Amino acid sequence: MNHSVRQSASPSATETDDARWAMRSILQRVATGPTLSKDIALEEARLAMEAILAGRVDPVQAGVFLIALRMKRETDDELKGILDAIRTTTSTVTADVDEVVDIADPYDGYNRCLPAAPFVPAVLAACGVPAVTHGLDRVGPKFGVTHRHVLAAAGVPIHLTPELATARLSNPDLGWTYVDQRAFNPALHDLIDLRTTIVKRQAITTTEVLAKPIVGRRRTHFVTGYVHKPYPRIYALLARHVGFDSALFVRGVEGGIVPSLRQAGVCVGYQHKGEEQTFDIDPPALGIEQVVRSVPLPDELPQTTRPGDEIAVAVDVGATAQAAAHAGLAALGGAKGPTYDSLVFTAALVLWHLGRSDSLRAAAEQVRSVLDSGAAAERIR
């Protein structure tokens, strides 16, 4: 395994003063109202984000910077610069495998369905495709049920260093892993309180999923979900920028990688760092016939309020994670239902995207085979 990390030392007083004056200049341009705000260059965005990650600027300045970019709408170069700063502080490990699929589901989780996506990497591993998923415990705006919650409830290790996570992925008997943002980019993880205070989505939400903590020796492929139509272009731009060899963007339930189980949908992807292409998908074409869009929340789940919000009612994260883990483990063992179909649909899309199957229908049958045989369930250890 090859390991690389580019962490900065504690800032000196001079560095902090320089960063604050540089940020002052940037804020004077990006935070001047809806009609007068100006864009900044990629390099300026990178330097500003690096200063924030290093703790060289006041949290108020950091918050204004992120809010101002959002208010005027971030440019492509600004997003690239912020992502470059995140990549600079990310601990990246090269796995002892030729190819890795990097699965980036919403870091803020789910609150309207039981997430099946946390188990997709195990299914892909059973099909011979090493995969990594990553995330964190809780972040806004949804503060929902995350991969970390579900995998922990299923007994999967979540407190792994990038090196240990990569060893699990490289192990042919396992072939997949989870790695937490707290482990691969502590500086970025330390901004969660600031992001919670900001409330609304910022550029970090868009860029953090492309941190690329584990890569393959030859190729690394990016898979993520989206809801709003502008995002495939943005994700494709950023994925090519950081060197993902291919990418697949699924218009999924709650912005995740699992498409609707009952209606036709759309995916966007690119190969060999080329231009993105759009294609339609339809559940019946893969032998999926469901009356629900996604795995429904059990009626008996307790409800609670989100931290800091006594009005909005949300699902209880712990109980929902337990229910999702139970459903996911059962599906890995061949139990039919919405979770099973979610794994079939999503894993088939990835296999077909990678060229591991001639058709989506054939890829779906390959996934059903590893589920029904128990081969996928063997990957949960």
Q: According to the model, what pLDDT value does residue 377 have?
A: 97
Strand partners, 257: none
Q: Identify the residue with better confidence: 71 or 258.
A: 258
Closest CA relative to residue 82, chosen from 94, 90, 91: 90
Q: Do the beta carbons of residue 90 and residue 208 sit within 8 Å?
A: no
Mark which of 88, 105, 126 sits at the end of a domain: 88
* Same domain? 172 vs 57: no
* Same domain? 158 vs 260: yes
Give the amino acid at 24.
Answer: R
Mind listing the pLDDT tens digit for each residue in 205-226? 999 999 999 999 999 999 999 9
On the question of pLDDT at 44 being above 70, the answer is yes
Q: Establish how many alpha carbons lie within 13 A of residue 351's alpha carbon, considering only the half-sphere containing its beta carbon.
A: 28
DSSP 374: S
Which residue carries 């209880």 as its tokens?
A: 316
Lowest mean pLDDT among 67-71, 156-160, 161-165, 304-308: 304-308
Residues 6+ apart with CB under 8 A from 306: 143, 312, 314
Q: According to the model, what pLDDT value does residue 38 have?
A: 86
Q: Do the beta carbons of residue 363 and residue 344 sit within 8 Å?
A: no
Cis peptide bond prior to 283, omega within 30° of 0: no
Closest CA relative to residue 318, chosen from 137, 116, 142: 137
Mark which of 88, 109, 125 sits at the end of a domain: 88
* Same domain? 45 vs 159: no
Mean pLDDT of 112-136: 97
Mean pLDDT of 141-160: 96
Question: The dihedral of CA 135, 140, 143, 145: what is its sign?
Answer: negative
Mark which of 71, 88, 105 sits at the end of a domain: 88
Predicted TM-score (pTM) of this structure: 0.92
CATH of the domain at 45: 1.20.970.10
Measured CA to CA, the distance from residue 142 to residue 307 in angstroms comes to: 10
Q: Is residue 229 part of a domain?
A: yes
Q: How many whole angstroms from its chain centre is CA 363?
A: 23
CATH of the domain at 231: 3.40.1030.10
Reported as a pLDDT band with limits 50, 70 and 90, residue 314 is low
* Same domain? 374 vs 308: yes
End-to-end, the C-alpha distance of the chain in Å comes to 22
Q: Do the beta carbons of residue 41 and residue 77 sit within 8 Å?
A: yes
Count structural domains, the chain.
2
Q: According to the model, what pLDDT value does residue 250 have?
A: 98
On the question of pLDDT at 92 being above 80, the answer is yes
- The DSSP element (H or E) to which 366 belongs, if any, is helix 360-372
Reported as a pLDDT band with limits 50, 70 and 90, residue 311 is very low
Strand partners, 272: none
Give the amino acid at 177.
Answer: T
Taking CA atoms, 274 is separated from 80, 81, 200, in Å, by: 18, 21, 32
Q: Is residue 122 part of a domain?
A: yes
* Same domain? 334 vs 243: yes
Q: According to the model, what pLDDT value does residue 17 have?
A: 60
* Same domain? 158 vs 11: no
Burial class (CB in 10 A: 0-12, 13-18, 19+), 212: buried
Mind listing the pLDDT tens digit for each residue in 251-293? 999 999 999 999 999 999 999 999 999 999 999 999 999 999 9
Show the domain range for 372.
Answer: 96-185+213-379
